[in-house]
Amino acid sequence: MNYPENRTITIERTFNAPLALVWEAWTQPEHIASWWAPNGMKLDIVEHNFVAGGKWKFCMPMPDGNQFISEGIYQEIIPQEKIVFTADFKPMTENVEIHALFKADGDKTHFTFHVIHETEAYCRQQEKMGIYNGWGSAFDRLEGFLDVN
């Protein structure tokens, strides 16, 4: 698939873990809760219906008593290859589409993460708000989770 460069933020990583383990970390609720949130934050899995058309909803309690809600719908799932889903990260980001791509590389996994925004202006705004740091922190936690599992 060709991604619209002006509206897409892409992050790539190679995890020092086999594809099956990385896939499990992305698809099993008990594993997602271990890495999806930034360092030091807790994540509650409210809903995780991991099928095409299924809803997902995660809640992160904030220190001020508010809740940061992440939710969306799984649109396409190809086991150990691709997860496509819509995502709202209220109140910061709404109505994006995410493509998480997985590819085995020996005993490692090459991972590509595309966040597609509705407009170029919205994409630039998300860059300024720190989307690379936010997801980078979560993927650092994922890397740590994979190292111990």
Check pLDDT > 80 for residue 76.
yes
Distance separating alpha carbons of residues 98 and 139, to the nearest angstrom: 15
pTM of the model: 0.93
What's the rounded mean pLDDT across residues 61-67? 88
pLDDT in tens, 77-133: 999 999 999 999 877 788 999 999 999 999 999 999 999 999 999 999 999 998 998
d(CA 62, CA 110): 32
Check whether 72 has a pLDDT greater than 90.
yes
- What the chain holds in terms of domains, given with CATH numbers, is 5-148 (3.30.530.20)
pLDDT greater than 90 at residue 62: no
To 5 degrees, how large is the angle CA 33–CA 136–CA 1? 95
Six-digit token pair at 98? Answer: 């995410």
Separation CA 10–CA 8 (nearest Å): 6
Which is it for strands 67-78 and 55-61: parallel, antiparallel or unpaired?
Answer: antiparallel
The Cα-based distances of 87 to 16, 94, 98 in angstroms read 27, 7, 7
Burial of 55 (0-12, 13-18, 19+ CB in 10 A): middle
What is the per-residue pLDDT for 91? Answer: 74
| pLDDT value of residue 89 | 86
Mean pLDDT of 51-57: 98
What integer pLDDT is reported at residue 92 of this predicted model? 78
Dump pLDDT digits (tens) for 6-28. Answer: 999 999 999 999 999 999 999 99
User: Can you tell me the distance from the alpha carbon of 81 to that of 1, in angstroms, rounded to the nearest whole number?
Assistant: 14
